[in-house]
Amino acid sequence: MSEGPSAIERLDWDSAFFGFPIGRVRDERLTDESAERCAAEARRAGLRCVYYLAPAGDPRSWDAAIHAGFDPIDVRVELERRRLAGTEERSLPEANAGGSDDCRPAEERDAPALLALAGDAFVESRFFRDSRFPAGKARDLFSAWIRRGIGDPIGFALIGSSGGQPAGFITGRVGPEAGRIELVCVSSALQGRGLGRKLVAAALAEFDRRRAARVTVVTQGANAAAQRLYQSAGFRTRSVGLWFHAWF
């Protein structure tokens, strides 16, 4: 008799990157029974870690996940901005205003500077919050995303400068349905001085140039500064979820 469709999706890229088998729960909502089924399937498949993204307004799914051995790790906030007519004209001057402080496409030669700027900038991510992921590999993950933005035909990386020196960057990708901001980083010495707004404006201009009908971005619930930055650029909250990890 068939056992039905798999409750767990194996994540090949994550597994290869971190060096151990990783999967993700397919269902958005869980019951005690389905959560236990996920855990049992993960064990049979030899998975070491399984991700589960639960709706923020569904405490029954949270309880079911916790009872099955999942730990709450992070709050995921997704924001969205729809393309508006004339945004190219508004975004580009803002992105490049300020004399020697401008934004330009990053090149391969900029990779060391971008990696140096990143430093510990992304320690709010769930991969850092969950100490069972090796910290070095968590840093390497963001390095891989930075490098992907340079020279990627469906992605881009923009570097922002202050006084002629690299001071921040933003990366994004354009898919068939929407654009997505992936990473934003501003030097700690320059935070609060408007460079983040310039980088986001420059990225929006690039998305507009590529005719992305909408742009999404994901940040952490605890990162209020990032949420304010995106809201000031016209983004609005689209969804909120809770990340859970189970280890076997």
Q: Distance between CA 227 and CA 31 in Å, rounded?
A: 31
Residue 50 CB burial class (10 angstroms; 0-12, 13-18, ≥19): buried
Question: In this structure, are residues 106 and 157 in contact, taking their beta carbons and an 8 Å threshold?
Answer: yes
Looking at the fold, whether 117 and 191 belong to one and the same domain comes out as yes
Predicted confidence (pLDDT) per residue in 49-103, tens digit: 999 999 999 999 999 999 999 999 999 999 999 976 554 444 434 444 444 458 8
Q: Which CATH number does the domain housing residue 122 bear?
A: 3.40.630.30
Same domain as 33, residue 104: no
pTM of the predicted model as reported, rounded to 2 decimal places = 0.84
Mean pLDDT of the residues in the chain: 87
pLDDT at 177: 79
Residue 29 belongs to domain spanning: 8-69
In terms of domains, do 156 and 64 share one? no
Q: Distance of alpha carbon 145 from its chain centroid, rounded?
A: 10
Instruction: State how many domains the chain has.
Output: 2
CA–CA dist 94, 74 (Å, integer): 33
The answer to whether position 201 is within a domain reads: yes
Q: Which of 69, 90, 105 is the last residue of a domain?
A: 69
Among 45, 69, 93, which residue terminates a domain? 69
3-class DSSP assignment, residue 214: strand
Confidence of residue 152 (pLDDT cuts 50, 70, 90): confident
Q: Which of 17, 49, 69 is the last residue of a domain?
A: 69
Clarify whether residues 63 and 172 are in a common domain.
Answer: no
Q: Is the residue at 247 inside a domain?
A: no
The predicted-structure confidence for 8-56, as pLDDT tens digits, reads as follows: 999 999 999 999 999 999 999 999 999 999 999 999 999 999 999 999 9
In terms of pLDDT, which residue wins out, 57 or 141? 57
- Domain check: are 184 and 100 in the same one? yes
Mean pLDDT of the 165-172 span: 88
Q: Are residues 108 and 211 in the same domain?
A: yes
